[in-house]
Amino acid sequence: MKILLNESELQTGVEKLAQQIADTYRENPLTIVGVMTGSVVLLADTIRKLSMPLRVGVVQAASYEGDRRGDLKINAELMPDISKRAVLLIDDIFDTGHTLEKVVGLMKSFSPSSIRSAVLLKKTGRQEVQYTPDFIAFDIPDEFVVGYGLDFNDEYRNLPYLAALEESDLAKHRN
Ligand code: IMP
Ligand code: MG
């Protein structure tokens, strides 16, 4: 594995991200909705850096099997009522953009007063949609990355750093 962002680089980026969110919403009430499961670490770190009245919910979106894309499934059953509320979606990575675009569309159907999104990572040159997240902590090259919440087959989410999987790592999962 090749480390792309170490623990302290991640923390610096997340602090800047939280500062931009704080500057945008000030002391106004906010509902943060984490896109599970990849945003779990970013969600936990970000909410502890914010001081406005805050509610937290989750929505589940899953589209990957290993490193291959499957059908997108969205489960909003665990989401709190967001009608007339300012909502900030948090996700791990903006790759093609289809996931976040679809989740934002679903959120809009619940009539929030506003909807924005924040992501830890944006993969360079991969986007296939018009939508762009409002807050982005890091731009990264087009590599499959794990750690800090991001997984390969639900593994590696617990790594405190962000690493790119190499061919030798992927080979271990094939047998
Ligand atoms: P998109 O719909 O292509 O933007 O894909 C977004 C989702 O795919 C993210 O929320 C991640 O869960 C997953 N994903 C995309 N790229 C990676 C990666 O490099 N590592 C782990 N998960 C990824
Ligand atoms: Mg995800």
Q: What is the CA radius of gyration of the chain?
A: 16
Among protein residues, the one whose CA lies closest to atom 3 of ligand 1: 96
pLDDT in tens, 61-104: 987 666 677 788 899 998 999 999 999 999 999 999 999 999 99
Helix axes 7-25, 40-47, angle to 10 degrees: 60
Q: Note the ligand closest to the C-alpha atom of 64.
A: 1
As a whole number, the mean pLDDT across the chain is 95
Using the mean position of ligand 2's atoms as its centre, give its distance from the Cα of residue 54 in Å. Answer: 22
Using the mean position of ligand 2's atoms as its centre, give its distance from the Cα of residue 64 in Å. Answer: 8
Average pLDDT over residues 114-120: 98
Among protein residues, the one whose CA lies closest to atom 20 of ligand 1: 145
Distance CA 98, CA 72 (A): 9
Report which ligand 1 atom has the smallest distance to the Cα of 144: 19
67 in active site: no
pLDDT at 66: 66
Q: Is the pLDDT of residue 175 over 70?
A: no
Q: Note the ligand closest to the C-alpha atom of 60.
A: 2
Is the entire prediction scored with pTM above 0.85?
Answer: yes
Structural domains of the chain sorted by starting position, each given as residue range(s) with its CATH number in brackets = 2-174 (3.40.50.2020)
